[in-house]
Amino acid sequence: MDVSQQDQYVVIELGTEKYALKLSEVYEIIKMQKITAVPNSKPFLEGVTNIRGKIVPIISLRKRFQLAEAPGMHKARIVVVNHHEEMIGIVVDGVKQVIQFSDIQPAAEIVSRVDSSYFQGVGQSEDGLIGILNLEHVLVG
């Protein structure tokens, strides 16, 4: 495949782990802001926030992956994705860079400490192997 035709990915961080989202799925990346809790919601739903007049649900990728909360979230960001015409924010520890993978393989049973169903593949880059998130499973499944 021609390099110019390859998808670009946004690399996000959860602790020392790195994951990737297709750039085409990302609407914007913003700094943390006030999130209002929603009672009796899914365990990984942090709440909702107002982004330029639009109420957007915010999920925690750490809670979704059943990882412990991180101390000091000074680099935390909200990655706003467009999923089925709905804006959804994903809280991550940090955003690293935009990259293209030289090779993408199917996700193995064990990609990391996280359930492999959350991944659509594993990309190889200069920084090593990075799990590519399956947004459908992360947000819904």
DSSP-assigned letters across all residues of 7-51 = PPEEEEEETTEEEEEEGGGEEEEEE----B--TT--TTEEEEEEE
Burial class of residue 79 in the structure, from the number of CB atoms within 10 Å of its CB (0-12 exposed, 13-18 middle, 19+ buried): buried
Give the tokens for residue 37.
């809790």
Decide the pairing of beta strands 128-133 and 94-99: unpaired
pLDDT number for residue 127: 80
Give the tokens for residue 43.
């365990």
Measured distance CA(65)–CA(82) in Å, rounded: 20
- Partners of 94 in beta bridges: 13
- For 25-51, what is each residue's pLDDT tens digit? 999 999 999 999 999 999 999 999 999
- What is the Cα Rg of the chain in Å? 15
SS3 87: strand
pLDDT number for residue 2: 44
Measured distance CA(70)–CA(44) in Å, rounded: 15
Q: What are the residue ranges in the chain where pLDDT is below 70?
A: 1-5, 72-73, 109-113, 141
